[in-house]
Amino acid sequence: MLNQLENPLLPQRTWRQILSDFGSTYAANALIGFIFAATGPVAVMLAVGTRGGLSPQELASWVFGVFFVNGLVSMLMSWRYTTPLAFGWTIPGSVLVGPALQHLTFPEVIGAFYVTSALVLVLGLSGWVKRLMAALPMPIVMGMVAGVFLRFGLDIVRALQSDVAIAAPMVAVFLLLSARADWGRRLPPVIGALLVGALAVAVSGRLDASAVGQLSLVQPVIQVPVWSFAAMLELVVPLAITVLVVQNGQGVAVLKNAGHEPPVNMIAVACGVGAAVSAVFGAVSTCLTGPTNGLLTSSGDKHRHYTGALMFGVLAVLFGLMAPTFTGLMLAAPKEFIMVLGGLAMLRVLQGAFLASFGAGKFSLGALVSLLVTVADIGLFNIGAAFWALVVGFAVSWWMERGDFQNR
């Protein structure tokens, strides 16, 4: 099985070479990617866990698991392959866990996490994952990715309507710095928007001081699994699909669109191992993230993007160690601040996703259907819309655009 795993195309970089490749652009991309991971997705995780009756200690342990473990995986994989490979956790998988916790115990859910990790690991070692992804037409996959990322662009418009005092200065500074290449090199547009937004929040007195926690280290809770057939039947296959097809599919498509060659089988293996370690602390399965890798590759030189992933991994590890403190800090600002910051950072990525979906002319109808199904965000059988977008988009192209398959 090991002969299915991809070898690095480039030699590992030394510390001196890594520092030489690093720069403000990649630090900015890493910071924005980290802010993404530490705000909205964390809120989803906490909401799911709270409704499921988890204790504050179990929730903190969950946050520790997804950040600390996946931060280490991100650093190791990005260094080994000299490619931006940022790992996180499956957000659709977290959503799947919510209904399950209404009738299953948390130890039973964790047992399903372990089985999912084993399934993902076997599929990665076998090489089947790469064959599956190679069979999917890229425009259809990128149509799904564009549908997932579209909400980030729409968030800019919504924030301008709901809180113009914070959103408008951020957008104005971003456009100003983007207008001239020399200005953008001196101060990356997204960092300029971040600084102006932070100033606007401070001047308006909108920082929620009560949400800022005291400096404290997390105390992980080691979870003992319970093996339940009902939990495995309900969760294992949907979780594996969200990891390998939905989440990893997004991440691989984003990286390929940026000119990288991600090691698909090795990514699945890393997800399997990361998921098993994360489950020790009660955390949901590991995956290759789409939005974060999109941010890491949104600007700068391709061969230096990996340095942003390394910094992202460091920030994730620190966040995991001090989860209560940093969660409070990240969520203390108005939500419009994060909405605009994320939307501006994703504009070029979203543009690239649309060009990859419809620019080549092939599979354009399937890509459109994939986009529409994703935006509709209606899941079936406890499986999210992104997966069904690929299924329906592929089916429509197979029926209506069969010539595109023959001319691949």
Residue 127 to residue 51: CA distance in whole angstroms: 38
pTM of the predicted protein model = 0.76
Report which secondary-structure segment, H or E, holds 37. helix 24-37
pLDDT along the chain (408 residues), means of 10: 74 89 90 80 77 84 94 96 94 80 89 94 85 76 82 88 90 87 73 85 74 70 88 84 83 89 92 95 92 87 94 95 73 77 79 83 88 84 75 89 76
**Is 387 a domain residue?**
yes
Asked, for residue 179, whether it belongs to a domain, the answer is no
Residue 193 has what pLDDT? 86
The pLDDT, as a whole number, for residue 269 is: 94
Is residue 366 assigned to a domain? yes
Give CA–CA dist 87/293, Å, rounded: 9
Tally Cβ neighbours within 10 Å of residue 336.
25
- How many domains does the structure of the chain reveal? 1
Q: List, in sequence order, the alpha helices (H) in 163-287.
A: 164-179, 181-186, 189-204, 229-241, 248-257, 264-280
Residue 228 falls inside a structural domain: yes
Report in angstroms the alpha-carbon separations of 157 from 154, 173, 298: 5, 16, 21
* 294 domain-assigned: yes
Q: Is 78 a member of any domain?
A: yes
The pLDDT value given to residue 40 = 66
Domain annotation covers residue 182: no
- The residue length of the chain stands at 408
3-state secondary structure of 383: strand
What are the backbone angles phi and psi of residue 86, rounded to the nearest 5°? -95, 125
In terms of residue numbers, what domain contains 284?
2-152+208-406
Q: What is the pLDDT of residue 177?
A: 85
Asked if residue 178 is part of any domain, the answer here is: no
The predicted pLDDT at position 258 comes to: 87
Q: What is the pLDDT of residue 213?
A: 55
Rounded Cα distance, 117 and 85, in Å: 19
